[in-house]
Amino acid sequence: MKPVVIASANGHQYRNGGTETCVERAFRLIARGSDVLDAVVEGVTIVELDPNETTVGMGGLPNADGVVELDASCMHGPRSRAGAVAAMRGIVPAAAVARHVLLDTPHHLIVGEGALAFARACGFEPADLTTPGSRSLWRELMRRVDARIAGDPGLRGDRAASIRRARVGYEISRQLSREGLMDRNHLWGTISCNAVGYRGEICGVTTTSGLAWKMPGRVGDSPILGAGLYVRQDAGAAGSTGRGESNLYSLSCFSIVRSLADGKAPKDAGMAALREIRAATVDPDLLNSRGRPNFNVKLYVVNAAGDCAGVALYGGADVLYAVCTDNGAELCRCEALIDEDEEFID
């Protein structure tokens, strides 16, 4: 086998002050003989520790209370094992903690205070994960949400009102994106990285700070096996970024890997999963003025032969994925299900 590493675009955009990106480090470690899971976790750790990347780890955009909560999962194909953490506060890198869950426990998923306690027992030190940039953006969002609440009595008070406020927060996030204050690709930020090694071993990891300004305790697709990540040694791997609830509902990554096992090419398997998401999106709150999803989902797919593809509901010049092979690392444009340059935010 010729090894290959595939990741979301941030896998070849951030270096945290160093010389390597995520996919470059993962590929180098695989070439040096490292376990493939160790390699991809080391790769995404670069992104998790980079304070300039606001979608994962240090500097990730916080929840509605201003607190960063991290989710992560990893899977080891040859061992048929997985590990994940969710709603974990004050510990980074989350992917490395998820690897400890895989290696050191009989469990797949540890959450909340339990995840924090487990991480500390593994030697991880608590830290403040907010940065001046993420705090500033959160304050601007809260200022706008408070102004909207002040003018709408229906957004005050009971539990139902808190749900409506969360929707207002999402609407304002889209507004911030339209104004250029937030990258549209960072509304649902994540890094996903999968790799095939020299002996055909397949491993993957997905890690995130989740939906920007989410309700405290909200968990997306990233730590859920089959939704944000799925690996099967005899078939391949898939990872996702974008609106987590859609991947959760459709179990997108499991669906893709099942299609790979049935002989579908990576691009075709990814497109089939996107069509399922589009068909399942019927809530008016999730549709734009053209009746199409008002969010994006991107899927990163590699089969057991090392063939790979990146696909997205919506494309465009900035909708990319990263690949690293013997020929080096590069960013490639995702194949789009919906018209290549159509915007999901309107």
246-266: pLDDT as tens digits: 999 999 999 999 999 999 999
CATH for 4-128+185-336 is: 3.60.20.30
d(CA 119, CA 94): 9
The amino acid sitting at 123 is G
Would you state the pLDDT for residue 148?
80
Residue 84 neighbours by CB distance under 10 Å: 33
Helix pair angle (36-49, 94-104), 10° resolution: 150
Mean pLDDT, the chain cut into blocks of 10 residues (346 residues total): 96 98 98 98 98 93 90 98 98 98 98 98 96 89 82 64 68 81 75 98 97 89 98 98 96 98 98 98 92 94 98 94 98 93 72
Summarised one tens digit per residue, pLDDT across range 116-147 is 999 999 999 999 999 998 888 888 888 888 88
Q: What does the pLDDT read at residue 335?
A: 97
User: Which value, in Å, is the radius of gyration of the alpha carbons in the chain?
Assistant: 19
* Spatial separation of the C-alpha atoms in residues 189 and 316, rounded to whole Å: 17
pTM of this structure:
0.93
Catalytic site residue from 21, 45, 55, 190: 190
pLDDT of residue 150: 76
d(CA 274, CA 334): 13
Q: Residue 214 — φ and ψ, nearest 5°?
A: -65, 160
> Annotated catalytic, 190?
yes
Q: pLDDT for 48-67, tens place per residue?
A: 999 999 889 999 989 888 89
pLDDT recorded at residue 208: 97
For residue 185, what pLDDT is reported?
67
- Domain range annotation of the chain: 4-128+185-336
pLDDT of residue 160: 56
User: What's the pLDDT score for residue 307?
Assistant: 98
The confidence score (pLDDT) of residue 171 equals 79
In three state form, how does the secondary structure of the chain look? CCCEEEEEHHHHCCCCCCCCCHHHHHHHHHHCCCCHHHHHHHHHHHHHHCCCCCCCCCCCCCCCCCCCEEEEEEEECCCCEEEEEEEEECCCCHHHHHHHHHHHCCCCEEEHHHHHHHHHHCCCCCCCCCCHHHHHHHHHHHHHHHHHHHCCHHHCCCHHHHHHHHHHHHHHHHHHHHCCCCCHHHCEEEEEEEEECCCCCEEEEEEEEEECCCCCCCCCCCCCECCCEEEECCCEEEEEEECHHHHHHHCHHHHHHHHHHCCCCHHHHHHHHHHHHHHHCCCHHHECCCCCECCCEEEEEEECCCCEEEEECCCCCCCEEEEEECCEEEEEECEECCCCCCCCCC
